[in-house]
């Protein structure tokens, strides 16, 4: 009995460790923000009223343009797709062969021999398929500039981690944007991101409930022969 209790305790330890890991949202190293160039305070030159590097910019463009700058991505993704196919064909074949004559003179049918034969075939096929898919994603996420390309375009990357009471939610965005597409409030729509990667995933009890088990996935996979 003690051995059974010990076995159950050991079996539950990985589950407890997994629940502890789920309580802390994991950070994806691929979406780590880039560090801006270190700022060094210029030396104070005595003898002048105005010191270089200590000026206050009253008017400045707040839009992101350097490595380490941040900007807001407005997620306005919406896709609708529909595909329909109808196939219908019919084919009929008919062939008849009459009794041949021998040397073109002797007719076997005169002697009660009938070799007339015929062959007919018919085939039909009808198929119909339809696929409809609708997706939408709205919200916002603030990302950082990780690189400035030679043509002036900005490479962005960012991740948002949200801890809910039943699991963790992750939103990851990366891609390339044009500085001219950035709005005056330092935001840009997700539809203007080139080579965009937008991921919305989760882990925890709710995510596991929406996922079929491995045994059920086997019967709907390509490995299942029927």
Does 47 fall in a domain? Answer: no
Please compute, for residue 60, the number of CA atoms within 13 A of its CA located in the half-sphere on the CB side: 7
Are 145 and 202 in a shared domain?
yes
Are 64 and 3 in a shared domain?
yes
Number of domains in the chain: 2
pLDDT for the residue numbered 140: 92
Are 126 and 103 in a shared domain?
yes
Please give the Cα distance from 192 to 209 (Å, whole number).
Answer: 34
Q: Which of 130, 157, 191 corresponds to the end of one domain? A: 130
Does 192 fall in a domain? Answer: yes
Are 118 and 206 in a shared domain?
no
Does 217 fall in a domain? Answer: no
| Contact indicator for 98, 114 with CB cutoff of 8 Å | no
Q: Is the pTM of this model over 0.85?
A: no
Tokens 């030679």, located at residue? 150
pLDDT for the residue numbered 175: 95
At a CB cut-off of 8 Å and minimum separation 6, what does 88 contact?
A: 125, 126, 127
pLDDT tens digits along 111-121: 666 666 777 88
Does 200 fall in a domain? Answer: yes
Are 67 and 155 in a shared domain?
yes
Are 199 and 182 in a shared domain?
yes
Relative to beta strand 194-204, strand 167-177 is: antiparallel
pLDDT for the residue numbered 147: 93
Query: Burial of 10 by CB count in 10 Å (0-12 exposed, 13-18 middle, 19+ buried)?
Result: exposed
Does 216 fall in a domain? Answer: no
Structural domain harbouring 205: 1-28+60-81+133-211
Does 107 fall in a domain? Answer: yes
Are 77 and 162 in a shared domain?
yes
pLDDT for the residue numbered 191: 93
Are 123 and 194 in a shared domain?
no
Instruction: Compute mean pLDDT per 10 residues along the chain, 226 residues long, and list them.
Output: 54 50 69 71 62 62 88 91 85 75 62 69 82 87 94 94 82 94 94 93 71 70 68
């Amino acid at each position: 009995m003690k051995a059974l209790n010990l076995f159950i305790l050991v079996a539950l330890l990985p589950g407890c460790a997994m629940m502890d890991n789920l309580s802390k949202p994991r950070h994806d190293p691929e979406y780590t923000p880039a560090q801006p160039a270190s700022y060094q305070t210029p030396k104070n030159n005595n003898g002048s009223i105005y010191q270089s590097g200590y000026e206050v910019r009253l008017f400045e463009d707040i839009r992101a343009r350097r490595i380490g700058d941040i900007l807001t991505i407005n997620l306005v993704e919406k896709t609708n797709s529909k595909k329909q196919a109808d196939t219908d064909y019919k084919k009929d074949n008919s062939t008849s062969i009459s009794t041949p004559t021998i040397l073109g003179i002797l007719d076997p049918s005169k002697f009660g021999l009938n070799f007339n034969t015929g062959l007919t075939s018919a085939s039909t096929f009808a198929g119909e398929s339809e696929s409809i898919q609708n997706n939408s994603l709205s919200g916002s996420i603030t990302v950082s500039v990780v690189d400035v390309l030679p043509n002036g375009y900005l490479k962005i990357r960012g991740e948002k981690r949200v801890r809910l009471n039943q699991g963790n939610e992750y939103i990851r965005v990366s891609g390339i944007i044009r500085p001219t597409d950035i709005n005056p409030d330092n935001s840009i729509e997700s539809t203007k991101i080139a080579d965009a990667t937008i991921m919305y995933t989760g882990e925890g009890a709710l995510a596991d409930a929406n996922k079929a088990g491995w045994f059920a996935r086997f019967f709907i996979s390509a490995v299942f022969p029927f």
